[in-house]
Amino acid sequence: MVSRYRQTCARETKKIGLTGLSDTKHRTNRCFFTDQFQLESWRRDENPVVYDMIDTRFFCLIHHDIKQRKVLDMVFQMWSVLHLAYIASPVVLAILLYRWTKHNSMSTNRTIGIVLSALAVLILIVRNADIWIRTGFSYEIIPLQICHFANFVLLGAFLFKNKTLFALSFTLNMPAAYMSIIFANSLSNYNDFFRIRPQAYFWGHLLIVMIALWAVMVRQVRIDTKVLMKTFGLMVALFFSAVVINNLFTLIGMTPNYFYAMRPEKGTPLEWFYTLTDPIMIGRFMIHPVYWILTGLFAIVIVGVLAVVYQGIIWTTRDIDARLVATES
């Protein structure tokens, strides 16, 4: 088997100009896609099927010296110093931005919010354009995933001064984006951190959390019971719309996962809810009631925690209220 693996790697990598593939003694040899952003890898001792899957799209990164090409990749590591800094950065940057803008008028801060939200949208557009250029149309470029959708929610909230959209950004988009920062398993799957897609992931999620926190600090977001009830209704409507859209895409052979309605993000607490029961198929339409109900209950708990966070932010930044009252009077 090892001999076959060596021969296949040597043959296929020779086609793309790589040489020096002689060391096959390590049991953690991996094969990586070269024509996609997201890393697909198999350990040889865990998935022997990889022997039959090597073709010209692959090159083998074995511990060896590459004579004709240097590969310098930085891979994002979970719970590394960079990851811990990434977790802290949205909060730190939101505080710094608040200290810089707390003396501004509401209209000035609204303009800053529009510019920052537009920057987040631009990052998403660049990411999607890169995917389109490299792979053509994909459900990945439709901004219906929670964190992609969040960019437009924030921009719309600032543009139209919409309280419900502001509340949605704080109670849904912000915690979802922060979960993606904490459980950044997807980011660690890229074989080069400095490519467009991982960079868009990194900065896009950071901006969503930072902007939402800062918006509360400068009182662009004001949440009360009435606004919260409207927000809950909008959340439910968006979730079940995502269920329908996800299932419609499966009819044409695509498997999107908008709003994580079909399956959880790997590494998140939602995985446990998903594994409790199997999905139910009604024809070609998939439903997963237990997973959805538990996810909804979990969301309610998160919103409860965020209500405490919201009040804490309001109390911590209470000095701005007196200034705003003086300005309005």
Looking at the domain assignment, is residue 68 inside a domain?
A: no
E strand or H helix that includes residue 305:
helix 289-316
Going by C-alpha positions, the residue among 150, 291, 170, 287 that lies closest to residue 220 is 170
Domain membership of residue 144 (yes or no) is yes
Q: Does residue 76 lie in a domain region?
A: no
pTM of the model: 0.76
**For the chain, the helix, strand and coil percentages under 3-state DSSP, each to the nearest 5:** 65, 5, 30
Residues 150 and 28 in one domain: no
Structural domain total, the chain:
2
Do both 220 and 94 map to the same domain? yes
pLDDT recorded at residue 141: 93
Span 127-153, mean pLDDT? 92
My answer on whether 206 and 298 are in the same domain is yes
Same domain, 169 and 261: yes
pLDDT of residue 325: 67
- Comparing 99-103, 125-129, 249-253, 325-329, which segment has the lowest mean pLDDT? 325-329
Q: What sign has the CA pseudo-torsion 280, 284, 287, 288?
A: positive
Q: Are 108 and 9 part of one and the same domain?
A: no
Q: Are 52 and 87 members of one domain?
A: no
CA 1 to chain centre: 38
Give the pLDDT band of residue 324 (cuts 50, 70, 90): confident
Which has the higher per-residue pLDDT, 69 or 257? Answer: 257
Higher pLDDT, 327 or 63: 327
Gap between the Cα atoms of 200 and 221, Å rounded = 26
> Which of 61 and 107 is assigned the larger pLDDT?
107
Q: Are residues 56 and 86 in the same domain?
A: no
Q: Quick one: average pLDDT of 166-179?
A: 93
Q: Which domain holds residue 22?
A: 2-61
Of 211 and 299, the one with more pLDDT: 211
Give the pLDDT confidence of 221-235 residue by residue, as tens digits. Answer: 888 888 888 898 999
13 and 121 assigned to the same domain: no
Residue 191 domain-assigned?
A: yes
pLDDT recorded at residue 326 = 65
Q: Report which of residues 68 and 18 the model is more confident about.
A: 18
pLDDT at 329: 52
Query: Are 153 and 116 in the same domain?
Result: yes
